Amino acid sequence: MIVIETERLQIRTLDESDAPRMAEYRNKREVKQYQSWRHYSVRDAKKLIRMINKYPFRGERYDMMQYAVDIKGGIMIGDLHITMTGKRSFMIGYTFDSLYWHHGYARESVAALIDYMVANYPIKKVLAYIMTYNEASRRLLLDLGFEKFDESKFLREESYQKFIEEDT
């Protein structure tokens, strides 16, 4: 089980007991408007968690992992997703309960997970995709050093990338 600590948060591997909480915030109208689903059930959450746990993350292409984000000593406030897109690149996504928006939790957890991945795998590039109307996510990605590289007006989606520089 992976546990990443930040000043305020704990990022950990999801457990099936997280499914009801995950479905609760993912089903909020204001949350799902920025995601690809229209409805997210406890069954959907359990299915995702079982799949993630069935196929352990090894850092190889197409490997996926989903993490819970908890306030230290408190409630699960969101989740993070990664998919390896190559030997040295991965895609990151995030979903947070709207009650916890605008407190820097998403930025703090995304930065910590990127740092963890770079420290433990030979990562050179991170990708992220957001809905074109998601201003908060755009600011988060730009603040973390991502650059926009593509946009699909048909999908109403923007693509961002961040290159990881070598320490000199």
Residue 67's pLDDT is 96
Element (H, E) at 51: helix 42-54
> Which one, of 114, 77, 108, lies nearest residue 95 by Cα?
77
pLDDT at 91 over 60: yes
Q: For a pLDDT cut of 70, what percent of the chain falls above it?
A: 98
pLDDT at 20 over 50: yes
Residue type, 127: L
Domains and CATH numbers, the chain: 3-163 (3.40.630.30)
Dihedral (Cα; 139, 151, 22, 97), 10-degree rounding: 30
pLDDT digits (tens, 9 = 90+) for 99-118: 999 999 999 999 999 999 99
Residue 33's pLDDT is 86
Residue 167's pLDDT is 58
pTM of the model: 0.93
DSSP state of 44: H
